[in-house]
RNA sequence: GCCGGAGUGGCGGAACGGUAGACGCAGGGGAUUUAAAAUCCCUCGCCGAAAGGCAUGCGGGUUCGAAUCCCGCCUCCGGCACCA
């Protein structure tokens, strides 16, 4: 046997670390402000340093990286940073279990994860890394808190707040999930606690947050946010107290059906409503007090179970229905929630099912005031449920006869003219509770002074550092409160003895602005360098999981708008385009978890196949936005593909050299190769733009197959082959950066492939010169003809009608019509 | 209950209203090999010997032509839910 030149093996284990090191040394992925080039800010959600990198991290980061690389090769100056969301409860909980300091646990995890992320071969600019638990970072989280405070957007109030007894801290409304109200983090049933807490005024931005017109975000996220904000249009109506209480303030209700006012036969207050005491008569006092006490003791789960039978008690007090002038009784009932609307409703039992049930149970009047469309007037005694359909107003004074299509508007005008009410909008959204009674977070930078009240810590004293020597075990009190000295400070205003706020901030505050700190992570004069901001912001593409739809993704929009109003940021939205990746489930189609033992460890995959294969497979194995159960066999396909590319290009180069520039392949083969090359450029470009990574890979696989056929036909050595090589490696570079780089160098194509520009598709080269013309009879495929691409209509129709398939199926029929779709088909309509 | 999203081969999935199932996995057959791995070639929706027929959750409709558009259902996933 003769000694052949053997193609070396594809060995990612050596070439990947080699290139990673080279790129780092050269600073290949440093992104700096460069006004000459268009910027592109590609952001991916920052990970929590939980210790071990999960395949889900790879799924979030590597396709995002590929897309950032694509933008870079297209000529943009791309910023693709990463950091760590390193404050938070898991660090504290882990630290408690292992008896090490949260900082130590977090630092170790970040080190480990940094190494793992580096193995992905991303274009992350590590100079811009941030960690939210860094004093250099949280100094500015605190500074931003103070700006919100000064701007009236942060405030303190005493309220019943959601409390997780396991995490021993308060939770934001968004962190309470499910029908039975569990802690978003640990799943424990949430209870209520009365506490004085810090809030951010998210509700002030409710209306603006509903407007998505300036951003390209997925429909799914937009609806989740829209539902979460929960806008209701209706009216506020004031009911003046009657009898003994007539000198007290009117009771205001919110209703979406002001047009049913004439049917309001009683009023219901939430047990917590401030007017309860004034409206309660002496003889009802004991019963009312007992009911209020009972409601307070009940858990929210019990109270808010919709299927529970309604209970309530009469207060003995009355108010005047402003429409009818009649006195109607006032009740209290726990189906009216203190936190929504005004905490009081007008009950219209004839037209609201809840009120109907309540009225039937307690024998209250049911008075129909809507005549159903095209039907008989309703009779209260015969009704079995509330009528909520369309119709016209009945027994409604001067508005009688108004159709329900305009009755809400006209009642609003009627009320406004009398000064007893007006149109109003209510939101479900609550203000964001940001205080946490835990150690591992950014301390709230205020001092409580007995003389001056709440005093902000002066800017030049920031950051308010976390003390290191603290008992961080949770007791329900903030650990900072238990520190012997930390909280004792002089009041910055009067110099008298004061006390630091001992709560820390919700970690969602940290992550609401991290994209700004990446711009200048070590900037000392503000949260970010304005010059960097002007160049890089807003974020062009934001990628991450959908689970943050009603948390982080609302908070960060709120934060940006609030900072805009404080003159700190510009523009209305922080992130222009959002795309969410799906979830990779375990092989058993269940959520991956250590306890189920179905966790896929990326390190093992990288060790076995190399990072490029893992990247390619993650982009290929499912629709990115959908996710799928992990399939261990599929990755072999991606590995095979990259190995084939390796041998194809190296053997192709050998054959090129052997040919001495005289390819054996004929013109047709070479033209076909060039056509496929340019078709692939167009396809891959379009699919990258749309985040359709799976078809990027399949297009590249197809081109490799075509190139494989072309070399078999002797295309190596031709100019078409050389073009194919160069294009292939550039299209591959975002997906498999190490392999593409290695081959780029082995083929001696020049400097780093990652500095090359994205190839451009030549439509002329991509055009087919022959097409398959489909012949249909009555819409069914009956024949296929190969014709020149520029075939004339007449020619196409004639040949189609003469085709065997067409003749066979039109025999004995009359041709009524012929539809011709150029380049595709001829449809013969015959009967 | 309300609001979204999704239903296409054994599997992941392709498909500007125009050849349904690209690309890949798994399966079947073969080549190479002492053997295996790796690699390469062929095959692969269902029924049918073939001609052909049937197929994109179900039922209608629009259209020359529907996975794609419209109407009505069913199932799964997610969110919200006594929100006045």
Inter-residue contact A86 to A46 (CB < 8 Å)? no
Q: Flag whether pLDDT at A308 surpasses 80.
A: no
Residue A2: the pLDDT is 35
**Residue A403's beta-bridge partner residues?**
A392
Q: Which nucleotide is nearest, taking the CA of residue A235 and each C1'?
A: B84
Distance A628 CA to B76 C1' (A): 14
Reduced to 3 states, what is the DSSP secondary structure of residue A234?
A: strand
Question: Among A156, A183, A153, which residue's Cα sits nearest to residue A170?
Answer: A183
Mean pLDDT in residue range A758-769: 94
Distance A627 CA to B9 C1' (A): 20
Quote the CA–CA distance of A131 and A110 in Å, as a whole number: 9
DSSP A125-169: -GGG--BTTSHHHHHHHHHHHHHHHHTT-EEEEEEEEEEETTTTE
Inter-residue contact A42 to A78 (CB < 8 Å)? yes
Tokens of A535: 């160049």
Distance A779 CA to B58 C1' (A): 23
Q: Which residue's CA lies closest to nucleotide B77 at its C1' atom?
A: A626
Mean pLDDT of chain A: 92
- Computed on alpha carbons and rounded to an integer, the radius of gyration of chain A in Å comes to 35
Tokens of A1: 């046997």
Q: Flag whether pLDDT at A264 surpasses 90.
A: yes
How do residues A378-421 score in pLDDT, each as one tens digit?
A: 999 999 889 988 899 999 999 999 998 889 999 999 999 999 99
Distance A785 CA to B37 C1' (A): 45
- Which backbone phi and psi does A675 adopt, to 5 degrees? -60, -50
Distance A694 CA to B23 C1' (A): 9
Q: Which nucleotide is nearest, taking the CA of residue A347 and each C1'?
A: B84
Q: Flag whether pLDDT at A764 surpasses 70.
A: yes
Question: Among A12, A67, A112, A7, which residue's Cα sits nearest to residue A635?
Answer: A12
Reduced to 3 states, what is the DSSP secondary structure of residue A707?
A: helix
If pLDDT is split at 50, 70 and 90, which confidence band does A472 have? confident
Inter-residue contact A492 to A455 (CB < 8 Å)? yes
CB environment A796-822: b (16+ within 10 A), e (fewer): bbebbbebebbeebbeeeeeeeeebee
Residue A547: the pLDDT is 87
If pLDDT is split at 50, 70 and 90, which confidence band does A304 have? low
Quote the CA–CA distance of A370 and A393 in Å, as a whole number: 5
Quote the CA–CA distance of A652 and A658 in Å, as a whole number: 10
Q: Flag whether pLDDT at A161 surpasses 90.
A: no
In the sheet where A780-788 sits, what is the strand order? A780-788, A770-777, A825-830, A815-821
Residue A236: the pLDDT is 94
Nucleotides of B under 7 A from a protein CB: 3-5, 11-16, 18-20, 22-26, 38-41, 52-53, 64-66, 78-84
Q: Which nucleotide is nearest, taking the CA of residue A700 and each C1'?
A: B23
Q: Which nucleotide is nearest, taking the CA of residue A256 and each C1'?
A: B84
How do residues A699-737 score in pLDDT, each as one tens digit?
A: 999 999 999 999 988 898 899 999 999 999 999 999 999
Quote the CA–CA distance of A515 and A127 in Å, as a whole number: 14
How do residues A599-631 score in pLDDT, each as one tens digit?
A: 888 999 999 999 999 999 999 999 999 888 888
Distance A358 CA to B33 C1' (A): 84
Backbone torsion region of residue A502, taken as left when φ is above 0, otherwise alpha when ψ lies between -120 and 50, otherwise beta: alpha
Reduced to 3 states, what is the DSSP secondary structure of residue A151?
A: coil
Of A74-88, A328-342, A582-596, A792-806, least confident by mean pLDDT is A582-596
Number of residues that this document lists for chain A: 831
Tally of CB atoms within 10 A around A406: 12
Residue A4: the pLDDT is 46
If pLDDT is split at 50, 70 and 90, which confidence band does A300 have? low
Question: Among A52, A141, A132, which residue's Cα sits nearest to residue A85?
Answer: A132
Q: Flag whether pLDDT at A50 surpasses 80.
A: yes
| H or E segment to which residue A452 belongs | none
Inter-residue contact A229 to A429 (CB < 8 Å)? yes
How do residues A527-579 score in pLDDT, each as one tens digit?
A: 999 999 999 999 999 999 988 989 999 999 999 999 999 999 999 999 999 99
Mean pLDDT in residue range A493-515: 95
Q: Which nucleotide is nearest, taking the CA of residue A708 and each C1'?
A: B40
Q: Which nucleotide is nearest, taking the CA of residue A184 and each C1'?
A: B79
Distance A589 CA to B77 C1' (A): 13
Distance A774 CA to B45 C1' (A): 21
């Amino acid at each position: 046997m003769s000694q052949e030149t053997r193609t070396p093996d594809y060995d990612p284990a050596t070439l990947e670390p080699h290139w990673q090191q080279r790129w780092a040394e050269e600073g290949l992925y440093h992104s700096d402000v460069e006004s000459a080039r268009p910027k592109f800010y590609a952001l991916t959600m920052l990970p929590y340093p939980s210790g071990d990198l999960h395949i889900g991290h790879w799924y979030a980061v590597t396709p995002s990286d590929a897309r950032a690389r694509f933008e870079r090769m297209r000529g943009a100056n791309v910023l693709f940073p990463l950091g760590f969301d390193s404050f938070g409860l898991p660090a504290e909980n882990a630290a408690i279990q292992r008896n090490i300091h949260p900082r130590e646990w977090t630092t170790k995890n970040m080190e480990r994860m940094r190494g793992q992320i580096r193995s992905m071969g991303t274009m992350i600019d590590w100079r811009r890394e941030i960690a939210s638990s860094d004093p250099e970072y949280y100094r500015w989280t605190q500074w931003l808190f103070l700006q919100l405070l000064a701007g009236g957007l942060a405030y303190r109030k005493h309220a019943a707040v959601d409390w997780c007894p396991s995490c021993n801290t308060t939770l934001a409304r968004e962190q309470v999930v499910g029908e039975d109200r569990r802690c978003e983090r640990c799943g424990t049933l949430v209870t209520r606690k009365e506490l004085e807490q810090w809030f951010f005024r998210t509700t002030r931005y409710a209306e603006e947050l509903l407007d998505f017109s300036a951003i390209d975000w997925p429909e799914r996220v937009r609806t989740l946010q829209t539902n979460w904000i929960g806008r209701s249009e209706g009216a506020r109506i004031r009911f003046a107290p009657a009898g003994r209480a007539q000198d007290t303030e009117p009771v205001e209700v919110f209703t979406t059906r002001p047009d049913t006012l004439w049917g309001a036969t009683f009023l219901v207050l939430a047990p917590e409503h401030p007017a309860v005491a004034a409206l309660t008569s002496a003889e009802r006092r004991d019963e009312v007090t007992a009911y209020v006490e009972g409601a307070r003791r009940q858990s929210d789960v019990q109270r808010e179970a919709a299927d529970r039978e309604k209970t309530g008690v009469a207060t003995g007090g009355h108010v005047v229905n402003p429409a009818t002038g009649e006195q109607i009784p006032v009740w209290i009932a726990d189906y009216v929630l203190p936190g929504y609307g005004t905490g009081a409703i007008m009950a219209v039992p004839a037209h609201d099912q809840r009120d109907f049930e309540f009225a039937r149970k307690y024998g209250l009047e049911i008075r129909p005031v809507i005549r159903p469309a095209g039907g008989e007037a309703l009779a209260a005694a015969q009704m079995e449920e509330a009528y909520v359909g369309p119709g016209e107003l009945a027994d409604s004074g001067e508005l009688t006869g108004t159709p329900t299509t305009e009755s809400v508007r006209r009642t609003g005008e009627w009320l406004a003219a009398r000064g007893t009410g007006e149109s109003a909008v209510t939101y479900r959204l609550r203000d964001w509770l940001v205080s946490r009674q835990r150690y591992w977070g950014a301390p709230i930078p205020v001092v409580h002074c007995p003389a001056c009240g709440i005093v902000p810590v002066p800017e030049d004293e920031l950051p308010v550092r976390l003390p290191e020597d603290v008992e961080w075990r949770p007791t329900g009190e903030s650990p900072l409160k238990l520190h012997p000295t930390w909280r004792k400070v002089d009041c910055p205003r009067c110099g008298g003895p004061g006390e630091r706020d001992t709560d820390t901030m919700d970690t969602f505050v940290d992550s609401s602005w991290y994209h700004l700190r990446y711009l200048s992570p070590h900037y000392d004069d503000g949260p970010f360098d304005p010059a960097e901001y002007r160049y890089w912001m807003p974020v062009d593409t934001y990628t991450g999981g959908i689970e943050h739809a009603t948390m982080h993704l609302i908070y960060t929009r709120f934060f940006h708008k609030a900072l805009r109003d404080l003159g700190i940021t510009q523009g209305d939205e922080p992130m222009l385009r959002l795309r969410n990746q799906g979830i990779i489930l375990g092989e058993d189609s269940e959520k991956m978890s250590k306890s189920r033992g179905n966790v896929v460890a990326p390190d093992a995959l990288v060790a076995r196949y190399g990072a490029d294969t893992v990247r390619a497979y993650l982009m290929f194995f499912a629709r990115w936005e959908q996710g799928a159960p992990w399939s261990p066999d599929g990755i072999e396909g991606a590995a095979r593909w990259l190995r084939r590319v390796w041998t194809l290009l190296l053997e192709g180069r050998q054959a090129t050299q052997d040919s001495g520039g005289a390819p054996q392949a004929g013109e047709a083969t070479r033209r076909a190769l060039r056509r496929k090359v340019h078709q692939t450029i167009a396809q891959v470009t379009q699919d990258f733009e749309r985040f359709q990574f799976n078809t990027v890979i399949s297009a590249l696989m197809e081109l490799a197959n075509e190139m494989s056929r072309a070399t078999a036909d002797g295309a190596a050595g031709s100019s078409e082959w050389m073009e194919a090589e160069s294009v292939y490696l550039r299209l591959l570079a975002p997906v498999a950066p190490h392999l593409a780089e290695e081959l780029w160098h082995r083929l001696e194509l020049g400097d780093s492939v990652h500095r090359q520009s994205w190839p451009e598709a030549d439509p002329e080269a991509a055009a087919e010169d022959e097409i398959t013309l489909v012949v249909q009879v009555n819409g069914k495929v009956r024949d296929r003809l190969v014709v020149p691409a520029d075939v004339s209509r007449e020619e196409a129709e004639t040949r189609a009608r003469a085709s065997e398939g067409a003749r066979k199926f039109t025999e004995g029929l009359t041709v009524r019509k012929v539809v011709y779709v150029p380049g595709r088909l001829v449809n013969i309509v015959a009967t």
